[in-house]
C-alpha cells in the first residue's frame, strides 16, 4: 500500500476547504427552505446532542460570541423552539432546553434537508460517500490530536 505524502494531503485539505466554502454558500438557503435558519439549526443540534446548557456554554461549543447566541436564543424562545429552565448550578444563568416543538421542527428540517441534498446529488455511490465520510472523520480526529504538537513544532521553527 502506498501512503499519501504531505503534498497529496495538502491538496486534499485544499479540496476539503473548497468544498466546504461551496457548501456554506448554499447551506443557509437549504436551511431556510427546510424551515429554520442555519444558526437555529446549529443551536438545536448542539442542544439535542448535549442536552440543556447555558448560553455561554452553547456559544463556546459553537465558537461564536455569547451575544450572538443570546440574541438567537431569545428569538428561538419566542418561536417556541427552546425554553429557559432553572440551572441548579447557577441562580442567574438559565439553561436552554429544546422543546418538543423545537425537536419536532428539527427532525422535519433534517428530513427536508436530506431530500434537498439527495436531489442535488442523485448519483453519488453509497460506498464512495461512506468511504469519504470515514476519511474525513479520521482527518478530524488526527487533527484534534495533533493540534498542540503542530503548534509547538511551528513555534520551535
Q: Are 34 and 112 in contact (CB under 8 A)?
A: yes
- pLDDT per residue as tens, the chain (157 positions): 899 998 999 999 999 988 888 777 777 776 666 667 888 999 999 999 999 999 999 999 999 999 999 999 999 999 999 999 999 888 889 999 999 999 998 998 888 888 878 888 888 999 999 999 999 999 889 888 886 655 555 555 5
Task: State how far the alpha carbon of 96 is from the alpha carbons of 36, 67, 100, 124, 136, in Å.
Answer: 18, 15, 13, 38, 31
> What are the structural domain ranges in the chain?
6-122, 125-157
Query: Residue 18 is placed in which grid cell?
Result: 473548497
For residue 75, the model assigns a pLDDT of 93
Domain range 6-122, CATH architecture: Orthogonal Bundle (1.10)
Q: Are 29 and 36 in contact (CB under 8 A)?
A: no
Amino acid at each position: 500500500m502506498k501512503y499519501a505524502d504531505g503534498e497529496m494531503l495538502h491538496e486534499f485539505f485544499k479540496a476539503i476547504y473548497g468544498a466546504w466554502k461551496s457548501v456554506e454558500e448554499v447551506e443557509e438557503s437549504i436551511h431556510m427552505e427546510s424551515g429554520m435558519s442555519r444558526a437555529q439549526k446549529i443551536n438545536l443540534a448542539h442542544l439535542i446532542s448535549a442536552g440543556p446548557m447555558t448560553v455561554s456554554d452553547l456559544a463556546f461549543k459553537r465558537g461564536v460570541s455569547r451575544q450572538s447566541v443570546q440574541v438567537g436564543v431569545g428569538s428561538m424562545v419566542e418561536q417556541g423552539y427552546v425554553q429557559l429552565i432553572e440551572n441548579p448550578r447557577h441562580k442567574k444563568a438559565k439553561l436552554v432546553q429544546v422543546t418538543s416543538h423545537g425537536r419536532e421542527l428539527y427532525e422535519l428540517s433534517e428530513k427536508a434537508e436530506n431530500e434537498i441534498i439527495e436531489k442535488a446529488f442523485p448519483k453519488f455511490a453509497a460506498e464512495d460517500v461512506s468511504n469519504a465520510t470515514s476519511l474525513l472523520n479520521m482527518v478530524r480526529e488526527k487533527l484534534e490530536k495533533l493540534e498542540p504538537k503542530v503548534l509547538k513544532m511551528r513555534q520551535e521553527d
